[in-house]
């Protein structure tokens, strides 16, 4: 259970936070990373998302790996080594963003981290804080993936009816689930369609989401 | 393996991994393991396999994404 100071906050709610780089929030955490965030981080390190997932993530690529002292692998002596491409939850901290399938968005303010020397205030708004942190492309990507996720969840819920008599056998190899691995998914997608492999992360994300949408429709 | 069974398992697996990466709690991963285990033990019973697969569900109540640094304190 995450201790919230305030919750159900809208983006215009008063909020400010002055970080003093004590780095407490880079330890003892679980950092979720979606395909867009993995692609940004992989791009920062000039490696493929396949390599990134293998080297820096856990739980099938859904979370960043931490070291034996429970510290983020990207924390260096001068702070975050991938700061320009840091994930959304790192940008949000000490806020949390919530979004449901109705498209309703709200925020929570977390209790100060033990040992955190940052200062909470009310000089600005949550919206202004998020702009400063450069969250826009990250929330846009997360929201697009969430729409696809809700669609998949609906399909799964509906799968309980009307398919009781399927006897069709499929002898093709097991489908390899690589949707979190954008480069692997795009290599296969682009090769089959004979289209160039996109190098730009935003473009790659757009095509990746189109491919995922097509896959969902086909299921 | 029956084609519709495979599709449901593939979809549940995608929901589990993408859901976790977006801060959405789902029961899909457990459902995938359960469905696969059941399929393995009932290879000759297509109807049972289908029924098992169609039991894969994700609760609608969990359709909220929580984008947050989760706590992972020392045990």
Q: Can you give the pLDDT at residue B21? A: 95
CA-based nearest residue in chain B for residue A146:
B22
Asked if residue B69 lies in contact with residue A29, where contact means CB atoms within 8 angstroms, the answer is: yes
Q: What is the DSSP string of A110-141?
A: EPPPTT---EEEEEEEHHHHHHHTT-HHHHHH
Using one digit for the tens of pLDDT, what is the confidence trace for A72-99?
A: 999 998 899 999 999 999 999 999 999 9
Which residue spans within chain B are E strands per DSSP?
A: 64-67, 70-71
Distance, CA of A106 to CA of A8 (rounded, Å) = 5
pLDDT in tens, chain B (75 residues): 677 788 888 889 899 999 999 999 876 555 555 555 555 544 432 222 222 222 333 444 468 999 998 888 765
Q: State the complex-level ipTM.
A: 0.89
Chain B interface mutation, best of A166, A176, A218, highest count of B Cβ atoms under 10 Å: A166
CB contact under 8 A, B8 and A146: no
Q: Residue B62 has what pLDDT?
A: 62
φ, ψ for residue A108, nearest 5 deg: -125, 150
Domain-wise residue ranges, chain A: 4-133
Give the model confidence (pLDDT) of A6-36 as tens digits: 999 999 999 999 999 999 999 999 999 999 9
């Amino acid at each position: 259970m995450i201790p919230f100071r305030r919750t159900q906050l809208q983006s215009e709610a008063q909020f400010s936070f002055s970080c003093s780089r004590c780095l407490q929030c880079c330890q003892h955490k679980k950092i979720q990373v979606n395909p867009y965030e993995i692609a940004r981080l992989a791009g920062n390190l000039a490696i493929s998302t396949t390599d990134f997932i293998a080297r820096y993530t856990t739980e099938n690529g859904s979370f960043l790996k931490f070291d034996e002292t429970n510290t983020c692998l990207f924390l260096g002596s001068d702070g975050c080594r991938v700061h320009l491409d840091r994930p959304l939850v790192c940008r949000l901290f000490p806020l949390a963003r919530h979004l449901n399938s109705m498209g309703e968005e709200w925020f929570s303010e977390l209790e100060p981290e033990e040992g955190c020397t940052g200062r909470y205030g009310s000089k600005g708004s949550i919206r202004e804080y998020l702009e400063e942190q450069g969250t826009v492309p990250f929330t846009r990507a997360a929201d697009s993936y969430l729409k696809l996720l809700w669609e998949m969840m609906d399909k799964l819920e509906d799968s309980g009816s009307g398919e009781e008599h399927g006897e069709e056998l499929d002898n093709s190899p097991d489908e390899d689930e690589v949707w979190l691995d954008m480069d692997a998914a795009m290599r296969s997608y682009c090769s089959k369609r004979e289209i160039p492999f996109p190098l730009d992360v935003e473009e790659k994300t757009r095509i990746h989401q189109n491919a995922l949408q097509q896959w969902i429709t086909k299921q | 393996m029956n084609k519709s069974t495979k599709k449901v398992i593939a979809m549940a697996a995608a929901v589990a991994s993408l859901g976790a990466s977006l801060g959405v709690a789902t029961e899909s991963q457990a459902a995938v393991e359960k469905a696969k285990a059941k399929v393995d033990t009932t290879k000759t019973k297509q109807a049972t396999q289908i029924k098992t697969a169609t039991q894969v569900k994700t609760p609608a109540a969990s359709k909220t994404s929580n984008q947050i640094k989760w706590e992972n304190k020392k045990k």
